[in-house]
Amino acid sequence: MKTTRRTLFAATLAAGALVAGFTPASAETKITFYYPVAVGGPVTKIVDGMVAGFEKEHPDVKVEAVYAGSYQDTIAKILTAVKGGAAPNVAVALSTDMFTLIDEDAIVPFDEVAGKDAKAWFAGFYPSFMANSQTGGKTWGIPFQRSTVVMYWNKAAFKEAGLDPEKVPATWAEMREAAKKLTKRDASGNVERWGIEIPSSGFPYWLFQGFTTENGAILMNEEGTKVAFDTPAVVDALQYWIDLSVKDKVHPAGIVEWGTTPKDFLEGKTAMMWQTTGNLTNVRKNAKFDFGVAMLPAEKRRGSPTGGGNFYLFKGQSAEQQKAVVEFVKWMTTPERTAEWSIATGYVATQPAAWATDKMKAYVADFPQAAVARDQLEHAVAELSTHDNQRVAKAFNDNLQAALTGSKTAAQAMKDAQAEADRILKSYR
């Protein structure tokens, strides 16, 4: 009996040693990384390349990249995984998803995990990008693939209309005047070319935020619990947009499709357009005319919203994994890599240090239009983001569309949007 027990004890010891032997002291840490790419296109390869580079330098960390589709798909996938108790370790999702992820109790702020130099790290990014990444004094997101709205203009059309092709409208009044001259009608009065197109399908609030910022309005508080949709500055901004089509007739009536504006611009159907910096590469490749990229025009000030995705750090992982994630995110956002990423994809480089790299300098020298987004960043503001974000945004979008299509006045639409947003946000105050 005694021997048996002793044997058993020995065997247990041996087994334990064996197990320990198979798991080396420097255990390999595995992290899952959800990344939004709609299709298996070139961006997938770029991210794969970066992940491989990280793994090479960190042999003890294994990163499993999961391509989750569009931003919409990604957040759906994340929420599903969180509720199923299998959250990813790190993910890139819309910066405006921050409150949703906080409310679902899915993420933790980077501050505690990032250690002593956290403050310095966060300070390296443009403040306008950090605006969508911080709330309640904590940093929940690290800017990665970010964009902003800029104005594209067709220099050939400017020349044809007798305007200086190198002088882009810098104020609302100038934009309106230029658009009037640029709008071309045939003998029977049908429009052959519009002065300007600003898309209003899908997510009109994003482009509208350009107007509101320029008119000196800030749409929400930092806590994401209050919005200010019905202030005079917002209503006036909306009225200006409406007037472009209704009064001045330099902008198409009704809803302008987001997806067709670049095509309209390339086809010469519109002389100017507001679009994301993400379209830079597309326009550069396909434009058969000389074009320019400019900051959005100013009214009381310059202004544009930022957009795009941040890194998030998820709850419920081991300390090693958390450390590995922070290491990974830091690695992905070094100035050098940020520059490479920006050049390869067209996203705006997120830190001043990235623009100071030699690579980036060479790129800008060759393609100066790329620097416009950077210069605009000092005027840029956070994208509209609140608790229950999708709903608040929809209330705002619906009413914007109602006003743009003439079924409500600007004032009424903004009043309705405010009332609906207040109703939704009531429970978060």
Partner 1 sequence: MRSPTRLDEPPRGRFRWPFAGSGRRTVEAWLLLLPSIVLFAAFTHVPFLRTFVDAFHSTPKGRRPSHFVGLDNWVDLAHDPIFWKALTNNTLYALGTIPLAVGLALAMALFVNGRIPGRAALRMAYFTPTVLPMIAVANIWLFFYTPDYGLFDQIGGLFGLAATNRLGDPSTALIAVMAVAVWKEAGFFMIFYLAALQQIPPDLREAAAIEGASRFTFFRRVTWPLLAPVTLFILVNAVINAFRTVDHIFMMTGGGPDNATNLLLFRLYELGFKFWDQAQASALTVVLIVVLASVALVQFVFAGRKVHYR
Partner 2 sequence: MSLERPSPFAAVLETALAWALGALWLAPLLYAVWTAFHPPDFATRFDLFAPLTLDNFRRAWEAAPFARYFLNTVAIVAIVVFAQIVLGTLAAFALARFTFRGRDLVFALILLQLMIAPEILAVANYRTMRAIGAVDTIWGIVLPYLTSAFGIFLLRQTFRTVPQDLEDAARIEGCGTLGVLWRVYVPAARAVYLAYGLVQASWHWNNFLWPLIITNSVETRPLTVGLSVFASVDQGIDWSVITAATLMTSGPLLVAFLVFQRRFVQSFASAGLR
| Interface ranges with partner 1 (CB under 8 A) | 72, 76, 79, 82, 103-106, 188-191, 200-202, 252-257, 260, 264, 267, 269, 388, 390-391, 394, 397-399, 401-402, 404-405, 407
Of 83 and 315, the one with the shorter C-beta distance to partner 2 is 83
CA atoms of 310 and 135, how far apart (whole Å): 14
Does 20 engage in binding with partner 2 (CB under 8 A)?
no
Q: What is the DSSP string of 102-139?
A: HHTT-B--HHHHH-TTHHHHHHTS-HHHHTTTEETTEE
| Residue 261 binding target from partner 2, partner 1, none, CB below 5 to 8 Å by type | partner 2
Figure out which of the listed residues 6, 30, 45, 83 binds partner 2, where binding follows CB under 8 A: 83
Cα–Cα distances (Å) from 343 to 195, 254, 349, in that order, read 31, 36, 8
Does 96 engage in binding with partner 2 (CB under 8 A)?
no
Of 166 and 267, the one with the shorter C-beta distance to partner 1 is 267
Phi, psi values for residue 337, rounded to 5°: -70, -35
What would the two tokens of residue 25 be? 């002291």
Q: How far is the CB of 104 from partner 1 (least distance, A)?
A: 4
Cα–Cα distances (Å) from 110 to 49, 103, 122, 200, 285, in that order, read 25, 17, 9, 35, 39
Q: Is 171 helix (H, G, I), strand (E, B) or coil?
A: strand
Of 29 and 261, the one with the shorter C-beta distance to partner 2 is 261
Does 70 engage in binding with partner 2 (CB under 8 A)?
yes
Q: How far is the CB of 238 from partner 2 (least distance, A)?
A: 24
Of 44 and 405, the one with the shorter C-beta distance to partner 1 is 405
> Which residue carries 């200006």 as its tokens?
240
Binding mask 260-279 for partner 2 (x = CB under 8 A): xxxx--xx--------x-xx
CA atoms of 424 and 416, how far apart (whole Å): 12
Of 68 and 392, the one with the shorter C-beta distance to partner 2 is 68
- Could you tell me which residues are beta bridge partners of residue 389? none
Does 80 engage in binding with partner 2 (CB under 8 A)?
yes
Figure out which of the listed residues 14, 76, 356, 365 binds partner 2, where binding follows CB under 8 A: 76
Type of residue at 398 = D
Cβ–Cβ < 8 Å for 384, 205:
yes
Of 343 and 410, the one with the shorter C-beta distance to partner 1 is 410
Count the residues in the chain: 429
Does 224 engage in binding with partner 2 (CB under 8 A)?
no
Of 235 and 403, the one with the shorter C-beta distance to partner 1 is 403
How remote is the C-alpha of 124 from its chain's centroid?
Answer: 18
| Residue 189 binding target from partner 1, partner 2, none, CB below 5 to 8 Å by type | partner 1
Q: Report the interhelical angle of 204-214 vs 389-404 (nearest 10°).
A: 80
Which residues in this chain contact partner 2 in the complex, by CB under 8 A?
Answer: 38-41, 66-70, 73-74, 76-77, 80, 83-84, 257, 259-263, 266-267, 276, 278-279, 282
